[in-house]
Amino acid sequence: MHFFTEPKIDSHCHVLEPSRFPYGAQVSYRPAGQEMGSAKYFQEVMACYAVKHALLVGPNSGYGTDNRCLLEAIAAAPGVFKGIAVVPNDCSLDALSAFKSQGVIGVAFNPSLMGFDFYSNIEPLLRRLQQLDMWAQFQVENDLLLDFLPMLARVDVKVMIDHCGRPNLNAGLSQPGFQALLALGREGRAVVKLSGFAKFSQVGYPFSDTRIFMDALVRDFGVSHCVWASDWPYLKAPERLDYGPMLKIYETAFSASERRAMMWDAPLKNFGF
C-alpha cells in the first residue's frame, strides 16, 4: 500500500468560509486567500490522501467563539468530522452538553495567543469538561504549560496538547515546559499532536530541527497517545505549505506500524470516530 493511500485521520485542521460565515468584528486576525478553506473543499483534499475522518478545531483567528462554520461542517458530513470548539471561559454545562450532542468532543484553549492570564479562571470549565468526558485542548508555547499544571493536577480532565507543545528550539529538550509535557506523557494522561512544525521550527521545510522533539514525544507518550495532524489550511504560515509535502514528513519519520498507530488507531480510539 502506498503511503498516500494508507487510511488516515487528521487530528487538527480548520474550516473558514467567511463568504457564508463572516468573521467577527473583534477578532485579532482575519485569515484570507490561501488561509481559507470550506469544509466541502477540505473533503476533496482529504479524498486525495485517504483521510477518512478529521477533527476540526475552531480557530481563534476569524471566528473566536463563533462555532457556526464548524458545527455546520460536522452536521453536513455525519461521521466524517468531529469538532473542538472555542467557548467563553464561563461556558455552562448545558451549553457544553449541546455542543457535545452536535459532535463536539472538547474545547480549545490557546494560551500561545491569549496568554495565561486570559485563562486563569478556567478551572470550573475544566471540571465541567471532565464531567462530560470531553477534552481540554491546549496550544501552549515555550514554558506556558507550567502555569496550567496546578489546575491539571486538581482536575482529572482529558488533556490534549497541540503542535508538540511548541517548544523553544534554542532551549533544547531540557527546557522546563517540554520536560513537563513529557511527564504528562509518561503519566498517560494526555494526547499530543505531532503537528504545527512551521510554528516553532527555525529552518523551514522539512523542519529537520523539530525531529528530536518529535522523537522524545513518541518515546514518552507512546504511539497510542500521539496523533498526526495536518494543521490545514496553515494559518499564519511564514511560507507556502501544502498538504502532500507536509504529509511526506511522516513517511520518512516513522515506520508503517507507527504511522498506522498515530494516523489511524490512536485518533480512532481517543476521539471516538
What was the pLDDT predicted at 220?
A: 98
Tens digits of per-residue pLDDT, 263-272? 999 999 999 9
- pLDDT at residue number 125: 98
Residue 235, C-alpha cell as written in the block: 494559518
Edge-to-edge strands, sheet with 226-228: 8-13, 51-57, 81-85, 104-109, 135-138, 158-161, 190-194, 226-228
- Alpha-carbon distance of 207 to 261, in angstroms, equals 22
Considering the domain delimited by 3-271, tell me its CATH architecture.
Alpha-Beta Barrel (3.20)
Integer Rg of the chain from CA:
17
- Over residues 19-53, the pLDDT tens digits come to 999 999 989 899 999 999 999 999 999 999 999 99
What pLDDT score was predicted for residue 78? 85
- The set of residues, in sequence order, having a beta carbon less than 8 Å from that of 196 and lying 6+ positions away, is 12, 162, 163, 164, 166, 229, 231
Domain spans of the chain, in order of start: 3-271
Among 142, 198, 188, CA closest to 166: 142
Q: For 125-154, how does the pLDDT look when each residue is reduced to its tens digit (9 = 90+)?
A: 999 999 999 999 999 999 999 999 999 999
153-177: pLDDT as tens digits? 999 999 999 999 999 999 999 999 9
* 89 within 8 A of 111, measured Cβ to Cβ: no
For 172-213, how does the pLDDT look when each residue is reduced to its tens digit (9 = 90+)? 999 999 999 999 999 999 999 999 999 999 999 999 999 999
Q: Where are the alpha helices (DSSP H) in 137-202?
A: 145-154, 176-187
